[in-house]
């Protein structure tokens, strides 16, 4: 198995990166970890004239947390680094779990958060967790920068809102809020190096009287994009959580899922899995808020 | 037109002529002649091709050779004792019957080395997680996990002496 002929560019600075992208727009792709792009090119999914390797641009790997602002993660940050980061473990466990479940230790040492989003597979693990965390993205290019919510950036199966002269610079995840938690769960056929058959990110925020005041539920692998279960969110908001509400939410979320039949699972089974995952993850998230209530940490 | 690049493999510098699209595993095996690293699936799934680059366990079959300039690459050939004896990890695999056809073994041993370098005293679950990418079609994995446990014990004993 050989790759088609290509040219390789390795910028060392943001200026060089921007210059290369501008010069070769439409004929180039960014090479981050390579764990999607190289296998995809080996399978003839696409080919490019230029690969622009961002591995040498250190700023794109930065992970920094600032109280009051939140977490900034460079598009080139490795999944392994995110998984092992103490601030991610402590404040954003949904992201830690999503990043830590991808592929194998080998893949996680190579792959990047930006690559997982930009490859935009419907079964990508990090987007549902990130969307439920309220993540935004910063897109950059010679013409300047723009920001948008991640759920607007991912537009379809392998489609993102990125112009040929732009690149994904970083993710912006809001700071933790009191009385809230976010959790992520997934189901795969085998333990590792597997493509999810269903996944879910659940964010819940309670007010002082334990009423749900905000919710973000994002399903993965059951639509072309990470899918917000907006009707289920509306069902929950303004109510206090009990068994009955949880069951109703699980049913409603399963009805909002839009899965297909494929070699890994049937649509019907995926809907069933969403029902199970919703109940389980809402329960886990709610419990996390109860355990940490008053401390203001997103645990 | 091929470019001449320098790759540092197992502590030695090799000058090799590569095209930008050449994969690291092909350059290691064919240009440099170190055939211990195996190409199983060739698409990043089986982890037979595992090597260690700048301390990270990675997949050489989906890495461009040209992207590895200036990095320290370790292959299975770096796992040996000075006097030609087997490294404790290799010895543990032999003693525990963890090798059948041997095709997955170089990748398994590199994953084992990476795991034990980071976590010298792993639990059984941590061992399973550390080797979770590496596929074996022969052994059923139990003896491989036993070998990693045994290797950890032996390496601990050695460092205590």
pLDDT digits (tens, 9 = 90+) for A85-138: 999 999 999 999 999 999 999 999 999 999 999 999 999 999 999 999 999 999
Of B45, B50, B62, the CB nearest to A38: B62
Q: Contacts of residue A5 in chain B, CB cutoff 8 Å?
A: 19-21
User: Measured in whole angstroms, how far is the alpha carbon of residue A209 from the centre of its chain?
Assistant: 31
Contact check, Cβ <8 Å, A8/B63: no
* A140-168 per-residue burial string, b: 16 or more CB within 10 A, e: under 16: bbeeeeeeeebbebbeeebebebeebbbb
Question: What would the pLDDT profile of A2-51 be if each residue is shown by its tens digit?
Answer: 999 999 999 999 999 999 999 999 999 999 999 999 999 999 999 999 99
H runs (alpha helix) in chain A = 14-23, 37-42, 79-84, 86-91, 93-100, 105-110, 113-119, 126-132, 150-153, 230-236, 243-256, 267-292
Contact check, Cβ <8 Å, B50/A106: yes
CA–CA separation, B23 and B18 (whole Å): 9
Radius of gyration (C-alpha) of chain A in whole angstroms:
19
Mean pLDDT by 10 residues, chain B (161 residues): 96 98 98 98 97 98 98 96 89 98 98 98 97 97 98 95 85
Do the beta carbons of residue B27 and residue B7 sit within 8 Å? Answer: yes
Do the beta carbons of residue A203 and residue A215 sit within 8 Å? Answer: yes
Residue A1 CA: distances (Å) to CA of A33, A104, A110, A286: 19, 21, 20, 49
The pLDDT, as a whole number, for residue B83 is 86
User: Measured in whole angstroms, how far is the alpha carbon of residue A223 from the centre of its chain?
Assistant: 14
Q: Contacts of residue B50 in chain A, CB cutoff 8 Å?
A: 106
Contact check, Cβ <8 Å, B57/A6: no
Flag whether the ipTM exceeds 0.95.
Answer: yes
Residue A204 reports pLDDT greater than 90: yes
Contact check, Cβ <8 Å, A8/B111: no
């Amino acid at each position: 198995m050989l790759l088609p002929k290509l040219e390789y560019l390795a910028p060392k600075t943001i200026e060089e990166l921007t210059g290369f992208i501008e010069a070769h727009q439409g004929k180039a792709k960014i090479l981050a970890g390579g764990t999607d792009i190289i296998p995809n090119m080996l399978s003839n999914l696409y080919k490019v004239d230029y690969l622009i390797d961002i591995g040498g641009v250190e700023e794109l790997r930065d992970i920094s947390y600032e109280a009051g602002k939140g977490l900034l993660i460079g598009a080139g940050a490795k999944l392994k680094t995110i998984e092992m980061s103490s601030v991610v473990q402590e404040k954003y466990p949904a992201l830690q779990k999503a990043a830590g479940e991808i592929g194998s230790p080998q893949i996680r040492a190579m792959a990047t958060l930006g690559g997982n989003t930009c490859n935009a597979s419907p079964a990508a693990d990090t987007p549902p967790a990130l969307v439920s965390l309220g993540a935004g993205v910063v897109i950059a290019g010679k013409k300047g920068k723009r920001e948008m919510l991640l759920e607007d950036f991912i537009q379809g199966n392998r489609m993102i809102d990125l112009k040929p002269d732009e690149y994904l610079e970083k993710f912006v995840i809001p700071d933790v809020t009191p009385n809230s938690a976010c959790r992520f769960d997934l189901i795969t056929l085998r333990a590792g190096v597997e493509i999810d058959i269903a996944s879910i990110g659940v964010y819940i925020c309670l007010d002082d009287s334990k009423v749900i005041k905000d919710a973000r539920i994002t399903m993965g692998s059951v639509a072309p994009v990470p899918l917000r279960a907006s009707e289920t969110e509306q069902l929950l908001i303004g109510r206090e959580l009990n068994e009955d509400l949880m069951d109703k939410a699980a049913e409603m979320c399963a009805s909002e899922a839009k899965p297909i039949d494929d070699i890994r699972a049937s649509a019907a089974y995926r809907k069933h899995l969403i029902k199970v995952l919703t109940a389980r993850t809402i329960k886990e998230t709610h419990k996390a808020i109860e355990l940490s209530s008053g401390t203001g940490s997103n645990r | 037109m091929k470019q001449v690049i320098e790759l540092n493999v197992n502590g030695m510098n090799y000058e090799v002529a590569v095209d930008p699209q050449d994969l690291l595993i092909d350059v290691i095996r064919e240009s440099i002649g170190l055939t211990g690293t195996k190409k199983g699936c060739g698409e990043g799934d089986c982890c037979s091709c595992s090597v260690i680059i700048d301390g990270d366990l990675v997949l050489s079959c989906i890495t461009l050779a040209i992207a590895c300039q200036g990095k320290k690459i370790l292959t299975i050939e770096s796992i040996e004792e000075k006097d030609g004896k087997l490294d404790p990890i290799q010895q543990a695999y032999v003693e525990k019957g963890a090798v059948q056809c041997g095709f997955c073994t170089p990748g398994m041993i590199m994953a084992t080395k990476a795991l034990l370098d980071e976590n010298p005293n792993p639990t059984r679950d941590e061992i399973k997680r550390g080797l979770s990418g590496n596929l074996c079609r022969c052994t059923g994995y139990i003896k491989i996990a036993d070998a990693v446990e045994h290797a950890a014990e032996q390496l601990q004993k050695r460092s205590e002496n």
